Structure formats: structure tokens, C-alpha cells
A = this chain, B = another copy of it.
Amino acid sequence: MGTGTPATETTMTSTRPTTRNTWQRAAVRDLLENSAEFRTAQQIHDLLKEHGAKIGLATVYRALQAMSEAGEVDVLRTVDGEATYRHCSSGHHHHLVCRSCGYSVEIAARPVEEWANEVAAANGFTDVGHEVEMFGLCAECSKR
């Protein structure tokens, strides 16, 4: 089909996001924005279906992938390598995650940023980035 590419190829902004707003992506985004916990793609899929949404698993993966690339969500790996996602504020930050209930808090780490740069420089490394995640028991879970 669509044989000849229409010469109507005007000077349209090529850098257009080319990303469409579907209710599926909105659903994933909404769900994440209402949770302070990291969830796996499959958990998100299940939750959405419980909510009555008829959405495909592959779509959830694609939405999450897009959102993470856009910096809208944070991705963390569980000990066994599963990816978990959480809505996040824009900008650089880290997390303090409860390993019991999954509750998490975003934390700024100004001191760490500086320390990281120093260490990197001291070792001759350049273009350095870092990952810092903390795991423990939140106040609630600590009581039990």
C-alpha cells in the first residue's frame, strides 16, 4: 500500500514528540502518580485490570519504557533483576525504600553528589554518574 511517499513532505518539525496520548498511557501514568511504591510492570498490569481497564501487558511495558525514557518515572531493579517503576519528581534524586512494604521516599543527596565527583576525579574518571539507593524498614514496618 501507500506506494509513493507523498511529496507533501512539508517542513514539519521533525523533532516532534510523535507520541500520542492514549487512555492506556494515561492510565499507567495515573496509577503511578497515586502510589508511593515501586511496582513491577506486571503488578501495574494486574492493578489496571482490577480497575476494569482492558489493557495489554505489552502496552504497559511500552508505556513504562516511554515514561522512563522521558524521565517521568524511576526504574529500580529488585534483587532478582526485575524492573520496578515509580512516579518521580523531575531532576536528579535517590530513594529510601522499605524492603517490607515497598514504601519509598525520594531523597536529595547534595553531600553525595559532591563526594562522588571528588572520588571520580581522584581516580581519573570523567563523565561520571552514580546510583544510590537505600533499603530498610520504614517506621511503620519497624514497629512490628
Question: A residues touching B (Cβ–Cβ < 8 Å)?
Answer: 77, 81-83, 96, 98, 105, 107, 109, 111-112, 115-116, 119-120, 123-139, 142
**A to B CB contacts below 8 Å, 29 in the list:** A81-B82, A81-B83, A96-B125, A96-B128, A105-B123, A107-B119, A109-B115, A111-B115, A112-B112, A116-B134, A120-B136, A123-B138, A123-B139, A124-B138, A125-B134, A125-B137, A125-B139, A126-B136, A127-B136, A127-B142, A128-B134, A128-B137, A129-B134, A129-B136, A130-B132, A130-B134, A131-B133, A131-B134, A131-B135
**CB-CB < 8 A to A135: which residues of B?**
128-131
Pick from B105, B126, B130, B136: contact of A142, CB below 8 A: B126
**CB-CB < 8 A to A130: which residues of B?**
132-135
**CB-CB < 8 A to A137: which residues of B?**
125-128
**CB-CB < 8 A to A133: which residues of B?**
130-131
**CB-CB < 8 A to A139: which residues of B?**
123-125
Q: In the complex this chain forms, how many copies of it are found?
A: 2
